[in-house]
Structures are given as C-alpha cells and as structure tokens.
Amino acid sequence: MDELLKLLKNNAKESSETLAKMLGGTVEEVQQRIDEYERGGIIQGYQAVINEDKLDGAPVTAAIEVKLTAEHAGGFNRIAERVSRFPEVRSAFLMSGGYDLLLFVHGDTLHEVASFVSEKLSTLDGVVGTATHFMLKTYKKNDVLMHVEDETERPKVSP
Amino acid sequence: MLKMKPNAPKSLHSRIAPHVRDIPPSGIREFFDIVSTRDDIISLGVGEPDFATPWHIREAAITALEQGVTSYTSNYGMLSLRREIAKYVARRTGVDYNPENEVLITVGVSEAMDLAVRALVSPGDEVIYHEPSYVSYGPLVTFAHGKPVVVETKKEDEFRLTRKALEKKVSKRTRLLLLNFPTNPTGAVLRREDVEDIAAFVIEHDLIVITDEIYSELSYDAEHFSIVSVPGMRERTIYLHGFSKAWAMTGFRMGFACAPPELTEAMMKIHQYTMLCAPILSQVASIEALKKPEEDIAEMHASYEQRRNVMHSAFVEMGVECFRPGGAFYMFPYIGNFGLTSKEFAERLIEEESVAAVPGTGFGPCGEGFLRCCYATALDEIEEAMTRFARFIGRL
Ligand SMILES: Cc1ncc(COP(=O)(O)O)c(C=O)c1O
C-alpha cells in the first residue's frame, strides 16, 4: 500500500501539513493525491474507531452466515447488494467455503437483531439458510487493540 | 540496629580502585534523576525504539520458553544463530565471516564493545574515538587502563569524522580507533568517500578499528557503507552490531562481534569467564529476527524517517539551527545562541514546558551548545513538544 494511504489508514485526522512534512512533499501534492484517492473510490470515507463495549447501551452485533441460491442473471451480486442496503447491515462480504455471505448486523437489542433475521433476511428470495453468531466482546477492530496496554518500564531518559 | 563491625574499613570510598572512582557519573544518569521526579513530561530523552519487538520474534521466545529451552549455550553462542548472523552480515557488507570462529554472540553491543576494548588495550595504549559520542566508549577505555583520545566532530562538518582531524590526534601509542556511524547522539552518517579516507588512515598507521554499527539499518538518505567493506579492512576490524535498535529488541540484550579468529578468540576468552554466554531465549528470538529482517525493519524505518522529517521541519521553522541527521533516531539541534548552557536550557525546558531532552554535554564536553532530541516518540507528542519548544525559545 502506498505510504500516504498507510498513514491515513492509521490516522485519518493527520493534517495535510504534517503528512507533507512526513513524506517530504508539498501540502498541495498531498491534497491532490488525497483528492484522487477520493475521486477514484479508493478512499470511501473517514470514520472514528469506536470501542462500543464502552458505550452505555452498547449495540448488539451479530455475525451472520448466509447461504444463497445462485441466480441465473447477475450471480450473487444482485441479492448481495440488496442485502447490503438494509441499515441494520454494517458490513457484508462474499465468502468462499461453507456459506456465501458474511454479514455484520447490529441492533439495539438481541430481539431486534433476531427479528431482522427472521422477518427480513430469511424471507428474501434466494436466501436458503442463515446462522447467527452474537458477538460478546471486541478485542481488536480495524487494526486497533481495544484494551490499553499497561505502561511499560521504558525509562524516560536513557543513553 | 545496625552497628559497624569494629574491624570494618574506615572509608570504603578510598578502597575503590582509582581508575573506577575517578570516572564521573554519567550526565545522563544525573538528568534521569531530575526527570524521574516528574510524571507529566513529554520525553525526547529516550535512547531506544518506541516499538515493541515484532510479534513473530516475541512468539518465538514464548514458544522456546514453553518448550523448556532454558540452558546455557556454547560460549560463542548458538551455532545456528552465528550462521544466520554471518549470512546477514555478508548480505549487508559483502564480507564473509566463518560462523565457527569469527562470530561471537554477546549481551548487547555494550558487552561486545567492552570485550573488544579489553582484548586489545594494554595499559597506556591510546584509543581514539569521536565525540559527541555514546556514553560508554571513554569509560570502557579507562576501565581497561587505556588512554581515551577524543576527536571532536563539528556541526560545520555535519558531525562527520575527517581524516584531517584524526591526523592531529594520532601518536606512536595509538592502537585503536572506535567508530560509530550512524552516531548516537548526532545522527551523523559517513559518505563512502569519508569511510575510504578513514580506512586509508587506519592502514597507514597500522591501527585496528572497532566499529559500532548498531544503527546501520536506520539510515535514511543513503545506503549505509561499512568500513569493513573497504578492501584491506576486514583483517583489522572488529565489526559490532546487535538487535536492540533496528529490531526494537533492547530488552533482549543481544549483540554480536565479527572479527578475524585471533581477535574473536581473545574476546571469547573474556566473555567465557565473565558472562559464560548470552541468554538462550534471546538467542532463539534473534534467530527468528533474522528470518525476515528487511520486512520487520521496513515499517519502523519508514516511521522514524517520517518523524525525523517532522521534527526537523519544526526546528527549521522556529529558526533553530539543526543539521538534518542521516541516521539513527536522534536530532542534535544547536541551542548555544540563547545565552544558556545545554544543561540550563534542558532544565528550564523541563521546568517551564515539561519537555525533556538530553543536554549535549552528556555525550562529551564538545556537546556543549546542543541538545539530543529523540524522535522515537509518538508523532503527536513530537508535534506538541515542538510547539512548546518554540514557545520556550520565544521567551528567551
Ligand atoms: C551507539 C550505541 N552503541 C551501543 C549501544 C548499546 O546497545 P546494546 O543494547 O546492544 O547494548 C547503544 C544504546 O543506546 C548505542 O546508542
């Protein structure tokens, strides 16, 4: 991955000024490259990495395996894109192996997620089976460890 | 109650060997004591990476511990590690060492340097090294009853060591030249032609070189060129390197020396009686560290380089004269024009802005007028420290 993308992936809030200094270019160059990434759809957005376990009333999240029947026209894409449109679905991936789609679905309560599965997802034409796994705790998300490591013994001054 | 035994010596201080007693305590130690009283500071005072050791290396150590790998090793160190080191050094320098008798595993470059100096220095021998320098060189020579001879490097020369400066200090009693490029604390690097000049000087005066290349992977603007790669130098060089810096393994305490068999054997003799061997777990971890070093180092290298650029631009913007270092992870700005000594400047910077940087005098008297600022520190802390630094000098 290009160094600029790596830096933004690590911290999307890094200013163009600092990025230019780090990479040894001008602010205009950096801004232009970011614009290109955005226009080209390589950068799709900028979001905070939130440890939801720490929120009051943390949402319930489930990983859902979905089996599909392959359709004649458009393969899995049409149904997968349709499923992705539900606001309850946070992420959706086409998978190899024992099932076809992996969804990350969230709701305010267990019940909400359960009714999404039984009423919306499994009633869709083309969905032949689902398996729902509720997530209990997040240890790492988007490369970020959710638990803070203890201060180490690294001395403040050393030779 | 503790009572002095009637036959206890009066003054233990007088019993300490003079050549040990007379060495002043390290300036860094003194500064450490000041900083330790404060817990709110941003520290640019460290001398080690801010990364944890790459996970696959830690995992290798964990696995070895689980398997009960807890014994001594050969005095030279594990042969499998020495083989990997010989391959790595050959790749980096083009010089082949025989892992059987030309590679010695040590407890850090710290021990390797001590062994090399003790193996080669007889009382009264002169040892040339360049200052500002890493803190241990002068004292190690003194512990070995040698005479440290300092060549000062200058900001005008970007802290490079020149043949001209060396010629002024060489004498009939000079036996050794210690080199450390990239340099702690200045970040200086040598160009190939500088290295070749120094090699010619060494051969002409029939010296032996001990070269501490612990920062060699952390060179940013040009490929590192080792003096051992110059034809005719392998025969008169002790090449020291280790895993502390480039692999972020300071706590593993792993270093090594490569040298012709007679010299390696002499160092091993001291090592076998004082240290026996380097810790086996660290040796196992180091074997893993040599599996994909380029990959492990690349990411940290990029990050240091970026932070160097940020810190250097900040000093330039605030009008502080600062040479752009080519290696290691230190910057050595000149602050001698603010009417304070390095020590006063550093103490007030802590006092007034809670930023710690090490006074240049911790690395030799010619470090007066400079500060060592380490950029192996989180980027946001570097930026905040630079804002405070600018505010501080604005008040001077
Ligand atoms: C130039 C230099 N040599 C040697 C050392 C000691 O390294 P080690 O951890 O291998 O003993 C250091 C550590 O700061 C250093 O800066």
Q: How far is Cα A48 from Cα A153, in angstroms, rounded to an integer?
A: 30
Q: How far is Cα B380 from Cα A15, in angstroms, rounded to an integer?
A: 11
Which residues constitute the domain of residue A14?
3-39
Could you tell me the maximum CA-CA distance found in chain A, to the nearest angstrom? 69
Mean pLDDT score across all residues of chain A = 91
B267 and B194 within one domain? yes
A104 and A28 within one domain? no
Query: What CATH number is given to the structural domain containing B360?
Result: 3.90.1150.10
B216 and B252 within one domain? yes
A130 and A60 within one domain? yes
* Cβ of B229 below 6 Å from ligand 1: no
* Cβ of B180 below 6 Å from ligand 1: yes
Higher pLDDT, B251 or B40: B251
Tokens of residue A145, six digits: 């460890």
Residue B376 in contact with residue B48, Cβ under 8 Å?
yes
Nearest to B104 by CA among B216, B260, B285, B291: B260
Query: Is residue A130 over pLDDT 80?
Result: yes
Residue B357 in contact with residue B381, Cβ under 8 Å?
no
A135 and A109 within one domain? yes
Tell how far the Cα of B134 is from the centroid of ligand 1, in angstroms: 8
**Final residue of a domain: which of B239, B261, B291?**
B291
Does a structural domain hold residue B149? yes
Number of separate domains in chain B: 2
Nearest to B239 by CA among B186, B286, B196, B180: B180
Tokens of residue B303, six digits: 């990050």
Number of separate domains in chain A: 2
Query: Is residue B51 over pLDDT 90?
Result: yes
B287 and B301 within one domain? no
Residue A120 in contact with residue A86, Cβ under 8 Å?
yes
A131 and A82 within one domain? yes
CB under 8 A, 24+ apart: contacts of B380-385: B381/B42, B382/B44, B382/B307, B382/B310, B382/B311, B382/B314, B383/A18, B383/B310, B383/B314, B384/B42, B385/B42, B385/B44, B385/B355
A57 and A29 within one domain? no
With an 8 Å Cβ cutoff, is A154 touching chain B? yes
Measured distance between the N- and C-terminal CA atoms of chain A, rounded to whole angstroms: 35
Cis amide leading into A155 (omega within 30): no
B35 and B91 within one domain? no
A71 and A28 within one domain? no
**Which residue in the set A21, A154, A159 is minimally distant from B309, CB to CB?**
A21
B358 and B244 within one domain? no
ipTM of the complex as predicted: 0.77
A32 and A91 within one domain? no
Percent of chain A surpassing pLDDT 90: 75
Determine the residue of B113, B245, B330, B374 to mutate for testing ligand 1's pocket, defined as the one with the most ligand atoms within 8 A of the Cβ atom.
B245
Determine the residue of B109, B159, B217 to mutate for testing ligand 1's pocket, defined as the one with the most ligand atoms within 8 A of the Cβ atom.
B109
The alpha carbon of A45 is separated from its chain's Cα centroid by a whole number of angstroms, namely 11
pTM: 0.89
* Cβ of B255 below 6 Å from ligand 1: yes
Does a structural domain hold residue A46? no
Percent of chain B surpassing pLDDT 70: 98
| Closest CA in chain B for residue A22 | B306
Nearest to B346 by CA among B323, B326, B363, B329: B363
Does a structural domain hold residue B7? no
Query: Is residue B10 over pLDDT 80?
Result: no
The mean per-residue pLDDT over the stretch B247-276 comes to 98
Helices (H) and strands (E) in chain A, counts: 5, 6
B143 and B274 within one domain? yes
Q: Where does the pLDDT of residue B145 fall: very low under 50, low under 70, confident under 90, or very high at 90 and above? A: very high
Q: How far is Cα B66 from Cα B48, in angstroms, rounded to an integer?
A: 28
B330 phi/psi in degrees, rounded to 5 = -125, 150
**Final residue of a domain: which of B272, B291, B310?**
B291
CB pairs A-B closer than 8 Å: 52
CB contact under 8 A, A159 and B310: no
A69 and A8 within one domain? no
What pLDDT does B6 receive? 64
Q: How far is Cα B100 from Cα B260, in angstroms, rounded to an integer?
A: 11
A133 and A77 within one domain? yes
Tell how far the Cα of A117 is from the centroid of ligand 1, in angstroms: 60
Does a structural domain hold residue A131? yes
Which residues constitute the domain of residue B141?
55-291
Does a structural domain hold residue B14? no
- The number of C-alpha atoms within 13 Å of B293 and in the hemisphere containing its C-beta is 23
A31 and A56 within one domain? no
Q: Using a CB-CB distance cutoff of 8 angstroms, which residues of chain A are in contact with residue B358?
A: 157
Query: Is residue A154 over pLDDT 90?
Result: no
| Closest CA in chain A for residue B51 | A154
Tell how far the Cα of B214 is from the centroid of ligand 1, in angstroms: 7
